Amino acid sequence: MNNNKCGCEEDNLDKKTEEKIKEDNKCDCGCDNESPEDNHYAAETEDCGCGENSAKHEEDTGCGCGEEHDESHEEGGCCGDIEIPDLSRVENPVNPKFLAEPNFFKEIEEYAHSLGISNIGYTLLTSDLLIKDQFIQYPFTIVLTMEMDNEILETPPGDDAKDLNDTAYVRAFILTTKISDYIRKEGYGTEIADPMKSKVNLSLLGQKAGLGHIGDSGLLITPELGPRLKVSAIFVSIANLPIKENNEHAWIPEYCEICGKCVKACPENALVEVDSCCGSEVEIVKKNCIGCNQGCTYCIEACPFEEKGYEHVKNKFDKINAKLKEKQAKYFDVKLWNKWVIENTELFKDLVNDFTMAIAVADNENMLQIIRVDNDLKVDLKPIDELETCNADLLFVMDEKTVEELFKDFTTDKFAELLSSKEIDVYGLNDQLELKTKGYIAFLNKLGISQGDGSCCG
Ligand code: SF4
Ligand code: SF4
């Protein structure tokens, strides 16, 4: 096995392979065109400039592969018109092995790092990650991330940037093939996911493998490289991959919600903010994206993970979160809510033991739960995610201003007034019969609400 640590000879070989692949992918219409303006790398043209409109050119729309994709740009699937042949030097074993010694993963990782691979993750391929309806022999997946040269960021979209982008893909393919060969040599079966025309969503695979998380730009963001990377994968026969279940980068989309720099930086309206059930979200309009066919990287450049680095962004996010929690704590001061409950004991008197109500404040991560246990009213602070499991009968939702008003006037009358003016919304989370049985009719009447009259629980 050639485990070349210095990599000098291998590097030369890789460069030659890169050049050969790109040479082989030049115009096949017979025009022998070589100038950057006239070859296939020319952006958004169906004509190579030779006077012929070859079938291949006609197909070259969008990302350049002649197919339509809903997936995110770059790593999400097809990206480019380069055909890369199978570069494997080692055949798949006829009877592949299925179990590996734990040490073998360390060996693969060391070898991969020696080639320049940034990080390696392990996961299982599931049907939701498939882009194409094609057979993949093994679900056991090794995911690799590798750096994209800074040069591409310094090059404006166009032929040169596309060339650099294609080179990065070809390099990713070459390195992935080397690692695949290494694994095959040890007796395991492999299949390579072509990083340019993958049958699977590589960014999602990287996310599932815990290497990073997809941001609003649709790109995988990792601690080592931010969004400036290529992702590839090898499906292997090794059934005991060291798969990690948790993803410590799941906070990234939350940061994206307050960032939005990639959306602003995109010159092509390929990242569009649209309304969603939970506010707004960023939609990727694949057909507008020129990341593949012109090597555009504006969304990468603008991303704070690229500009400042992962740790810097994480620290900033933690500080913002700490401030938010401080603010939230103000509206969920359990002592004050306890005081409110005690002042309104009369309001709760007709309710059965174990009745449960929830109070949520808009945009807050927490909620309050009011419950009676052994005739004692108790107020608890809970994460909002528990709302579905806390079995509350009623849910009151208000904003921060309303909480401030309530804390100025602790009376039931004030609460009823805020309910009638719709400053507080009330929702029944239990069925009508159950609410009736638990004594909510009298409770709601005291607040000026009839059960099922449309203002509550209907
Ligand atoms: S900035 Fe460029 S690469 Fe990024 S989404 Fe927009 S067009 Fe695509
Ligand atoms: S630029 Fe901002 S919003 Fe876009 S992916 Fe990066 S962190 Fe997320």
Give the ligand 1 atom nearest the CA of 300. Answer: 4
Domain with CATH 3.30.1050.10 in the chain: 332-446
Instruction: Give the other-Cβ count within 10 Å of 53's Cβ.
Output: 12
Of the candidates 438, 437, 419, the one whose C-alpha atom is nearest the C-alpha of residue 427 is: 419
Give the ligand 1 atom nearest the CA of 290. Answer: 7
CATH 3.30.465.10 at 332-446, yes or no: no
Report residues whose beta carbon is within 6 angstroms of any ligand 1 atom. Answer: 73, 265-266, 268, 270-271, 289-291, 296, 298-299
d(CA 165, CA 157): 10
Predicted pLDDT of residue 10: 58
pLDDT class of 276 with cuts at 50, 70, 90: confident
Predicted pLDDT of residue 56: 30
Of the candidates 216, 202, 224, the one whose C-alpha atom is nearest the C-alpha of residue 265 is: 216
Ligand closest to 299 (CA) is: 1
Ligand closest to 219 (CA) is: 2
Q: In 3-state terms, what secondary structure has residue 128?
A: helix
Q: Are the C-beta atoms of residues 302 and 259 closer than 8 Å to each other?
A: no
d(CA 400, CA 394): 19
- Ranges of beta strands (E only) in 140-247 are 140-147, 190-193, 213-214, 220-221, 229-236
Residue 96 structure tokens: 């592949």
* Best probe residue, ligand 1, of 269, 289, 303 (max atoms within 8 Å of C-beta): 289
Give the ligand 2 atom nearest the CA of 216. Answer: 5
CB-based burial, 344-367: b 16+ in 10 Å, e otherwise: beebbeebeeebbbbbbbeebebb
d(CA 238, CA 335): 56
Residue 138 structure tokens: 């093994």
Per-residue model confidence as pLDDT tens digits over 399-456? 989 999 999 999 999 999 999 999 999 988 888 888 889 999 889 999 988 766 555 5
d(CA 153, CA 37): 21
Per-residue model confidence as pLDDT tens digits over 12-63? 657 767 676 666 666 444 433 333 333 322 223 233 323 233 323 333 333 3
Among 25-34, 119-128, 134-143, 440-449, name the one with the lowest average pLDDT. Answer: 25-34
Predicted pLDDT of residue 354: 85
HSE value, Cβ hemisphere, 13 Å, CA-based, for 374 = 0
Q: Are the C-beta atoms of residues 237 and 138 closer than 8 Å to each other?
A: yes
Instruction: Give the other-Cβ count within 10 Å of 287's Cβ.
Output: 12
Residue 45 structure tokens: 């043209």
Predicted pLDDT of residue 288: 96
